[in-house]
Amino acid sequence: MESQTSTFSFTGKASYPKNAVALLYDLEGFSRFFNQPDVQDYVPAFLNYVSAAVGVNLFGGEAYWAHNATIAPLEIEVAHEKFTGDGALYILLPPVGSSDFPVGTLQHLCNRIWTLKNRFAAVVNRALETVPVVEVPRKIRFGLSRGSVYELRTQGTTAGEYIGFSLNLASRLQKYCPELGFIASARLMLSDREIARHGFMKVVATQLRGFADEIVLIDSVEYEALPEDVRSRLFKELQ
């Protein structure tokens, strides 16, 4: 009998490239939350509240953090969801049968994520109704990018994993500037008019580990509130 040399094995070829958006979020303070006594009884419940809120932004439903607005599903396919230990990763594809995202879809995604980031306290307060722990994560940070992804299939199962530039970039953006709760790559290809109309701006992130200078979209109010030394160290304004 052959000895086992790996716990998993991928099939020989990755999929053809897929036009995708990588959405990644992180819960600030999750380690402190997890290290409290008996918190194992409450971690799943808290994570479920957060996951459900993010899910409403993708699949539609009641956004109670946004004045109980009912929002429609986005015109996307959620191809992959993965818990990352202190947040989650989503791979978003165009609707089945389409090669690109419908006009306006990614702007809606950014607006919804931005709103959830700003009003995350409402999600925390809802969770605290059943999670009797003081030290819960109270801030959520999002990173988004767009680009080709490739699916790796695991032999003997229907499970798969995704690789691609956009996944790595979204991860770097999410943790790039902790004072900012939302950073998206300009690779989302949103129109300048819509970016400005919804309160975002373009700047250059100059210190992304492992990446060249990257044009990113950020909340203009949050950017102006950053200390000057942080702005000059991490960003460069477009001329």
Whether 11 is in a domain gets the answer: no
Task: Check residues 106 and 41 and name the one with the higher pLDDT.
Answer: 106
pLDDT band per the 50, 70, 90 thresholds, residue 10: low
Bridge-based pairing state of the strands 182-185 and 139-153: parallel
Task: Check residues 201 and 30 and name the one with the higher pLDDT.
Answer: 201
Rounded CA-CA distance 60/109 in Å is 11
Q: Give mean pLDDT, residues 205-224.
A: 95
Whether 139 is in a domain gets the answer: yes
Q: Are 183 and 145 in contact (CB under 8 A)?
A: no
Whether 146 is in a domain gets the answer: yes
Whether 81 is in a domain gets the answer: yes
- Long-range pairs of 204-208 with CB within 8 A, sequence gap ≥ 24: 204/235, 204/236, 204/237, 204/238, 205/173, 205/176, 205/234, 205/235, 206/234, 206/235, 206/236, 207/176, 207/233, 207/234, 208/169, 208/172, 208/173, 208/176
Averaged pLDDT of the chain:
90
Domain that holds residue 169: 24-237
Whether 15 is in a domain gets the answer: no
Q: What pLDDT is recorded for position 156?
A: 57
Q: What pLDDT is recorded for position 1?
A: 45
Q: What pLDDT is recorded for position 69?
A: 92
Q: Which amino acid is at 107?
A: Q
Whether 8 is in a domain gets the answer: no
Q: What pLDDT is recorded for position 7?
A: 60
Number of domains comprising the chain: 1
Whether 12 is in a domain gets the answer: no
Partners of residue 18 on adjacent β-strands: 149
pLDDT band per the 50, 70, 90 thresholds, residue 33: confident
Whether residue 5 is predicted with pLDDT greater than 90 in this model: the reply is no
Q: Out of 82-96, 157-171, 204-218, pick the least confident.
A: 157-171
Q: What pLDDT is recorded for position 16?
A: 74
pLDDT band per the 50, 70, 90 thresholds, residue 8: low
Number of neighbouring beta carbons within 10 Å of residue 40: 9
Supply the CATH number for residue 155's domain: 3.30.70.1230
Q: What pLDDT is recorded for position 42?
A: 86
Whether 71 is in a domain gets the answer: yes
Q: What pLDDT is recorded for position 134?
A: 80
